[in-house]
Amino acid sequence: MLQPLEAGAIATRNRVWMAPLTRNRSEPDGTPNDLNVEYYRQRAGAGLIVSEGTQPSAVGKGYLNTPGIHTDEQQAGWARIADAVHGGGGRIVVQLMHAGRVSHPDNTGEESVAPSAIAPGIDMVTASGEQPIPTPRALTAEELPGVVAEFVDASRRAIAAGLDGVEIHAANGYLLHQFLADGANTRTDAYGGSPANRARLVVEVTRAVADAIGAGHVGIRISPGSTASGIAEDDTTGAYEALLDGIDGLGLAYLHVLVSPDDPFLGKIRSAWSGPLVLNTGFEKPTTREDAVTLVADGVADAVTVGRPFIANPDLVTRWTHDTELNTPDESTFYGGGAEGYTDYPTLEG
């Protein structure tokens, strides 16, 4: 668990990585602020920090006060975060998350988009309160190269900001997952129908980003069978097999999988993927020290991403190294607010 890992071009000093965690504390325009800089600086002991979901375009925004990386001001904010994390000896990638249909015009000023005009059937917190998410507009085939270009531009900005790379978010019910999922994608063109067609856009995005910034700086996250954000998949394997077939030879930094360690499909993913495999065990319960040790020691994964324990324990790796007591996270401060429950958790050093 404490051994270094070469993830493509990213040298990580241990295998306890910080999972992407939406915290809703950036500026309203998506610019990272002083609080964000301090939050990530405190957690530089992680083997790799995978940032909170970050929109690659204005229309890609989902939630209030989430960061973007599509303007010069946002890029400058991420540069400050990169400097702070590197100053603590850490490594950080920005997770590129286009929310797709999991959005609301009150939050973005834009009509939400998706592979098909199917609402997710869930509510969203907006500036004017919690509201049902409206039916999105289906993207035309002619618009899809523009979506790819947004991911490429955001990736170039990430590297220019000094970040160590990007993670392409194709999980948890957001836009790229919507294309993979047969319950959200009912298209009849080259981007819908068969598993290969549903995986096509994700493959195109991944290849284009790898070409733009180097495959060794690119990770990708998937969540086969997840029902997060109103997603539904009758076919929980086909599109993922097609996706892996389309990207495995690129030499990506890592594949990040959110799935139960007991899921039999994980073994198939492990055998089909030739690079580092990173596991997140899901939302049911927080990952424990014992979980992390066992998963890495048994070869189930090359690294694990940990969420809630990192929220409450900036020095989690130190605490796990010495098997000391952990702080308990305050769930009432998970989303939104200020320093409380964000940057004020104590470390072992005080």
Instruction: State the Cα–Cα distance between residues 46 and 48, nearest whole angstrom.
Output: 5
How many angstroms from the chain centroid is the CA of residue 304? 14
* Strand 5-7, strand 10-12: pairing: antiparallel
Largest CA distance in the chain: 58
Q: How far is CA 24 from the centre of its chain?
A: 15
Is 26 exposed, middle or buried, given 0-12, 13-18 or 19+ CB atoms closer than 10 A? Answer: buried
Phi–psi pair at 7, nearest 5 degrees: -105, 90
Terminal Cα-to-Cα distance of the chain (whole angstroms): 25
Contact of 259 with 243, CB cutoff 8 Å: no
DSSP designation for 267: H
Q: Which of 63, 174, 254, 345 is catalytic?
A: 174
Mapped onto helix, strand or coil, the DSSP state of residue 117 is coil
Q: How many angstroms separate the CA atoms of 116 and 306, rounded?
A: 33
Q: Tell me the CB-side half-sphere exposure of residue 119, using CA atoms within 13 A.
A: 11
List 12's β-bridge partners, or say none. 5
Do 180 and 234 touch, CB atoms closer than 8 A? Answer: no
Q: Is 63 a catalytic residue?
A: no
Find how far residue 143's CA is from the centre of its chain: 23
DSSP secondary structure code for residue 115 in this structure:
S
Tokens of 243: 């996706």
Nearest residue to 31 via CA among 59, 58, 11: 58
Q: Which of the residues are catalytic?
A: 174
